Amino acid sequence: MNAIQLTSRFNPQLEVSVFQGHFATRHSHNSHYIDITRMKHEFTMAREAAMTLAQNYAYDKGVDTIVCLDGSEVIGAFLARHLAKKEVFSVNSSKNINVVTPEYDSNGQLIFRDNLTPMIVGREVLILISTVNSGKSARRTLECVQYYGGKVQGIAAIFSMLEQVDGIPVYSLFSPDDIAGYISSSPKECPMCRAGQKIDALANSFGLSML
């Protein structure tokens, strides 16, 4: 499969590779796979992504803790740094912002261990996730944070199909408007499956497994 390079309209230094095909994730079937490996692991790209996302929260959203999903911890660390910069009118100026990742228990439920719960309970929380398609993973994280007594201020994503999840706004660097013909649907309603198009690869937050 050949990839096209897609540049964010919010920051020309942010670039992802997009593959067209038939990709199956845990919750959805998608017509494109968005490879954000560089953004999650390269110093410069992660820094630029964090700086761009921070603009949505620096001046009107208090953030005490960033909850990172899908291996987004590098971006999360830079995001905390940008939010906490000493700037006029910044509501998070000089804050010591926590960056944490939830754990999956034996039943697949998201949990925070006792040593991390003080960073959630009563705190203003920003959820950072790589991609939002069906919204199930974001919703599960939202419910987890609320269960532990955190107040979710927003959801930040690299790519998102949705503008909000359960009333919480989602700010993303890329959207379906950037990808012509992008389709995401539940496995039962997948138009590609109905058309007899074979699945090209299984996809998750770690990458692709070609079939």
Q: Are 92 and 102 in contact (CB under 8 A)?
A: no
- 14: three-class secondary structure by DSSP: coil
Please tell me the predicted confidence (pLDDT) of residue 89. Answer: 79
Model pLDDT for residues 108-130, shown as the tens digit of each residue:
889 999 999 999 999 999 999 99
At 87, which helix (H) or strand (E)? Answer: none
| pTM above threshold 0.85 | yes
Question: What ranges make up the beta strands (E) of the chain?
Answer: 3-7, 15-24, 29-35, 65-68, 98-100, 103-104, 110-111, 124-132, 151-160, 164-165, 168-174, 184-185, 201-204, 207-210
Q: Which residues of 89-110 are buried (b: 16+ CB within 10 A; e: fewer)?
A: ebebeebebbbbbbeeeeeeeb
Quick one: tokens of 41? 């692991």
- 37: three-class secondary structure by DSSP: helix
Q: Are 134 and 121 in contact (CB under 8 A)?
A: no
Task: Categorize the per-residue pLDDT at 58 as very low, low, confident or very high, splitting at 50, 70 and 90.
Answer: confident
At 51, which helix (H) or strand (E)? Answer: helix 43-54
Model pLDDT for residues 31-48, shown as the tens digit of each residue:
999 999 999 999 999 999
Q: Are 150 and 89 in contact (CB under 8 A)?
A: no
Q: What is the CATH number assigned to the segment(s) 3-210?
A: 3.40.50.2020
Q: What is the rounded CA–CA span in Å between residue 45 and residue 51?
A: 10
| All structural domains of the chain with their residue ranges | 3-210
DSSP secondary structure string, 132-184? ESSSHHHHHHHHHHHHTT-EEEEEEEEEES-SEETTEEEEEEE-GGGSTT--E
What percent of the chain is modeled with pLDDT above 90? 82
- 186: three-class secondary structure by DSSP: coil
